[in-house]
Amino acid sequence: MTRFLARRLLNYLVLLALASFVAYILAAWQFNPLENLLSRNPRPPEAVIEAKRLELHLDKPLLVQFGLWASGVVQGDFGTTVSGQPVTDELWRRVGVSLRLLVLGSVIGTVAGVVIGAWGAIRQYRLSDRVITALSLLVISTPSFVMATLLILSALGLNSAFGVQLFEFTGETSPDAVGGAWNQFVDRLQHLVLPTLTLALGGMAGYSRYQRNAMLDVLGQDFIRTARAKGLTRRRALFKHGLRTALIPMATMFAYSFAGLFTGAVFVEKIFGWHGMGEWFIQGLNTQDINIISAIVVFAGVTVLLAGLLSDIIYAALDPRVRVT
């Protein structure tokens, strides 16, 4: 088990290094960080631009630039933004914001999706199953930026229906939040509900479809009949023997879907005004900042790597055949 995980971790680390290399080179090749400076009116003196150029190492070849950046990253320094602030400080400030969204969204989405999918499979072709199938397809077909706005619209309706500000949809906290730990907590919760729901809904729909299919495959298998024949109740047979087997393919899905989740977070953060990595990514693109973009790709890569490692662990725990290797 440890050797299996160590091997996987090594594989992921090499992939991560390569991915950040690709991203950095792409960004450094495409971006012109001086554009903002050049298009300023009045145009700054040539000496200032030249100094900036030297400061950002833009005079050196791409590979040297990457080498300088990478040696900094290894020591935990992601360089500076175009305007001179250290990227690392900002990175740490924003990581927490995004992780809260991503972790909550993925966990809620996965668990709810698996439960809904398994339930739908057990009730195949009943009304509830049909409704769930149609709804999940509809949710999958709705991009996160449409979903977020639709949720805001319905939340507004609910707010005015109840006459209280039940849901909040700008930022993480209210600027005028009244003191007291409990009030702060409630305030954060009110802000958290809609963004998390936006992210979770997509995952829920996706997982429920896959889980339903996997569960249906398993339900037709002989070992379920055997389990029933040896006297297990239907519920026990389904949950102990059916669900566990049907969960195995989900573990692999988890790793892949995390990259998609990060993309969703870009939109969610933009729409709900969260100052996380996704919002920063758009900022970085607009200012054509190589260091910001590379730092975000590294962060995204690390989250996908962790999700991949986690899914390997779940896989190994669920599938007895893996433990031998």
The Cα 240–Cα 218 span in angstroms is 12
Length of the chain: 325
For the bound state, the minimum distance from the C-beta of residue 180 to another protein, rounded and expressed in Å, comes to 31
Tell me whether residue 97 or residue 297 sits nearer to another protein (CB atom).
297
Residue at 136: amino acid letter: S
User: Rule CB under 8 A: which residues touch another protein?
Assistant: 12, 15-16, 18-19, 22-23, 26-27, 30-31, 124-125, 137-138, 140-143, 145-146, 149-150, 152-153, 156, 213, 216-217, 219-220, 256, 259-260, 262-263, 266-267, 270-271, 281-282, 285, 288, 293, 296-297, 300-301, 304-305, 308
Place of tokens 């057990």: 122
Tell me whether residue 184 or residue 313 sits nearer to another protein (CB atom).
313
For the bound state, the minimum distance from the C-beta of residue 247 to another protein, rounded and expressed in Å, comes to 18
For the bound state, the minimum distance from the C-beta of residue 125 to another protein, rounded and expressed in Å, comes to 7
Q: Is the bond into 42 cis (omega within 30 degrees of 0)?
A: yes
Q: Measured over all CA atoms, what is the biggest interatomic distance in the chain, rounded to whole angstroms?
A: 86
For the bound state, the minimum distance from the C-beta of residue 65 to another protein, rounded and expressed in Å, comes to 15
Tell me whether residue 157 or residue 180 sits nearer to another protein (CB atom).
157
Tell me whether residue 19 or residue 184 sits nearer to another protein (CB atom).
19
Which residues on adjacent β-strands are paired with residue 86? 80
Place of tokens 């889980």: 211
What CA dihedral angle connects 202, 205, 211 and 216, to 10 degrees?
A: -160
The Cα 80–Cα 181 span in angstroms is 36
Distances (CA, A) of 263 to 106, 225, 267: 13, 42, 7
Residue at 55: amino acid letter: E
Tell me whether residue 172 or residue 269 sits nearer to another protein (CB atom).
269
For the bound state, the minimum distance from the C-beta of residue 67 to another protein, rounded and expressed in Å, comes to 20
**Within 10 Å of residue 113's Cβ, how many Cβ atoms?**
27
Tell me whether residue 51 or residue 138 sits nearer to another protein (CB atom).
138
For the bound state, the minimum distance from the C-beta of residue 185 to another protein, rounded and expressed in Å, comes to 28
For the bound state, the minimum distance from the C-beta of residue 178 to another protein, rounded and expressed in Å, comes to 26
Angle at 40 between CA 35 and CA 42, to 5 degrees: 140
Distances (CA, A) of 163 to 157, 179, 275: 10, 23, 29
Look at residue 132 and give its three-state secondary structure.
Answer: helix
Q: Which two tokens stand for residue 81?
A: 């933004």
For the bound state, the minimum distance from the C-beta of residue 2 to another protein, rounded and expressed in Å, comes to 22
Tell me whether residue 54 or residue 229 sits nearer to another protein (CB atom).
229
Place of tokens 């999918």: 117
Tell me whether residue 247 or residue 258 sits nearer to another protein (CB atom).
258
